[in-house]
Copies of this chain bind each other. A is one copy, B any other.
């Protein structure tokens, strides 16, 4: 079983709750951090005294407050962690359900588990820990299903993604075409932009461009 676990989570109450869950697993050393920057400091300090943490459980979103922050998100924290302690096991514990974001976390940072916050989260957290101990990847049931039919997402290339972002930012078709022309991107004519949007609507089964934007946001493409 893991000996030293760090929890990075801004919500005070959740920290207490996760601690209690971990207590049930007889983890001797549980440390919490309410800011990503603090979490990184604690990881570094533990490394220096040669008592590194074995597991990081981190949220993705951390509220801003009066304090100045360098790392503002769980993703930034994970990225930083990978440079100082690449083999640290990581469980992401978040409400995030946009499958695109989750998939990119898994692909980019090779995280060891994704647990979606919800009714059965304590049980899932325990399952995740047991699964990681066997060097396997764990994913919440609800997320697992979504991950299976995520393939269609890769069909949207970076230009499509940019296009969706520009749509969400309030640019009209012609303005988008001009933007693409300025940047010298391919398929920059108004006609092509229209075709792209149409292709995306078919792909995402959207009736209107408003819905297209909504779906893109929901899937974490924006």
Contact = CB atoms under 8 A, between A and B. Distances in A.
A193 interface: no
Chain A binding surface SS class: helix
In this complex, the interface size class of chain A, counting residues with CB under 8 Å from chain B, is 35 or more
Contacts of A214: 168-169, 213-214, 217, 222
A196 interface: no
A160 interface: no
Interface stretch (A12-20, A45-53, A72-80, A131-139): A12-20
Interface in A101-140: 117-123, 125
A171 interface: yes
Interface stretch (A81-89, A184-192, A203-211): A203-211
Copies of the polypeptide in the assembly: 2
A167 B168 CA distance: 14
Given A11-B117, A11-B118, A11-B119, A211 B16 contact: no
Contacts of A16: 16-17, 20-21, 122
B168 A120 contact: no
A34 interface: yes
Interface string A1-43: 0000000001111111110110000000000001000000000
Most chain B beta-carbon neighbours within 10 Å: one of A14, A170, A209, A222 = A170
26 contacts: A10-B118, A11-B14, A11-B117, A11-B118, A12-B17, A12-B121, A12-B122, A13-B13, A13-B14, A13-B117, A13-B122, A14-B17, A16-B16, A16-B20, A16-B21, A17-B17, A34-B119, A63-B119, A65-B118, A167-B210, A168-B211, A168-B214, A172-B208, A210-B212, A217-B217, A217-B218
Question: Which 5 residue pairs spanning A and B have beta carbons closest together?
Answer: A13-B17, A170-B211, A170-B207, A17-B17, A16-B17
